[in-house]
């Protein structure tokens, strides 16, 4: 491989990784953000498969306040999730098959950073991350024993007014991996859609996951009602 081509690939990799870092920084430093999204996921094992889908709204303030509402279907059963942080307390209630489960704890200092990584990460989305944060400690590198994987950023391409970022993750073990395509507005860093595939090579639990998420709204500097972040009594 010639030196010029090696240099071109190195520059492209650095540019692509820089794009992902800019997107996460835009979310992490936003004074106010409103996101309306919907996603679907299909998981296939050797003998069974199941589907999930959900739609929700995320409200986020730079001072650590968060509100997420989500409703969906998991393997044919209705689900709903409400998560609120007033900047001091993190509270959530998760309802599955009509049975609510409510938890609360001190709001983690790194919660906004975790949200930014969930919006750009692999298969696991906001709902999973925020619910896990209620049981585990959150730091800059991960939640509990689960560490945020380092992305292997492979490509960045422009398609008209949309930029497409392609990157991969090693998930849990060396035998598991995912590939992500993130579509966004390169001028504003507003996310448009995200799709990913994840595969596990573990012999006794081979699985394939396909995840597709669309952001119907991704508005920075949104006007957010103050009472949206009040913890229910």
Q: Which residues contact 210 (CB under 8 A, 6 or more apart)?
A: 41, 42, 195, 196, 197
Residue from 143, 118, 141 nearest 133 by CA = 143
Rounded to the nearest 5 percent, the helix, strand and coil shares of the chain are 20, 50, 25
Task: Give the dihedral sign, CA 131/49/150/13.
Answer: negative
Neighbours of 90 (CB within 10 A): 23
Residue from 61, 64, 93 nearest 80 by CA = 93
User: Could you tell me if 30 and 62 are in contact, meaning their C-beta atoms sit under 8 angstroms apart?
Assistant: yes
Coil, strand or helix at 132: helix
Distance CA 134, CA 106 (A): 9
User: Could you tell me if 184 and 5 are in contact, meaning their C-beta atoms sit under 8 angstroms apart?
Assistant: no
Q: What is the 3-state secondary structure (H, E, C) of 167-208?
A: EEEECCCCCEEEEEEEEECCCCCCEEEEEEEEEECCHHHCEE
Distance CA 181, CA 191 (A): 11
For the chain (233 residues), the mean pLDDT of every run of 10, in chain order, is 39 66 92 95 79 93 94 90 94 87 90 87 69 77 72 85 87 68 94 87 68 94 94 88
pLDDT value at residue 97: 74
Distance CA 211, CA 116 (A): 18
pLDDT value at residue 152: 80
Residue 79 pairs in a beta bridge with 72, 96
Own/partner contacts of 106-111, CB < 8 Å, gap of 24 or more, are 107/64, 108/133, 108/137, 108/138, 108/139, 109/64, 109/138, 110/138, 110/139, 110/140, 111/64, 111/66, 111/85, 111/138
Pull the structure tokens for residue 13.
């990799």
Global pTM value: 0.85
Pull the structure tokens for residue 76.
């044919």
């Amino acid at each position: 491989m010639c030196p010029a081509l090696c240099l071109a690939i190195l520059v492209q990799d650095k540019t692509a990784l820089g794009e992902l870092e800019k997107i996460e920084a835009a979310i992490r430093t936003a004074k106010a953000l409103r996101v309306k999204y919907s996603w679907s996921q299909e998981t296939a094992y050797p003998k069974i498969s199941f589907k999930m889908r959900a739609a929700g709204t995320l409200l986020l303030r730079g001072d650590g306040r968060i509100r997420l509402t989500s409703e969906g279907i998991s393997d044919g059963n209705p689900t709903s999730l409400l998560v609120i942080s007033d900047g001091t307390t993190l509270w959530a209630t998760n309802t599955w098959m009509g049975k609510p489960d409510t938890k609360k704890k001190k709001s983690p200092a790194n919660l906004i950073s975790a949200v930014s990584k969930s919006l750009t990460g692999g298969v696991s989305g906001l709902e999973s991350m925020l619910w896990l944060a209620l049981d585990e400690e959150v730091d800059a590198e991960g939640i509990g024993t689960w560490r945020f994987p380092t992305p292997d950023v492979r490509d960045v391409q422009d398609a008209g007014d949309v930029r497409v970022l392609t990157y991969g993750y090693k998930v849990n073990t060396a035998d598991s991996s995912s590939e992500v395509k993130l579509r966004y507005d390169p001028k504003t860093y507003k996310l448009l859609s995200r799709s990913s595939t994840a595969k596990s090579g573990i012999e006794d639990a081979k699985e394939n996951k396909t995840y597709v998420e669309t952001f119907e709204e991704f508005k920075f500097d949104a006007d957010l009602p103050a009472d949206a972040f009040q913890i229910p009594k």
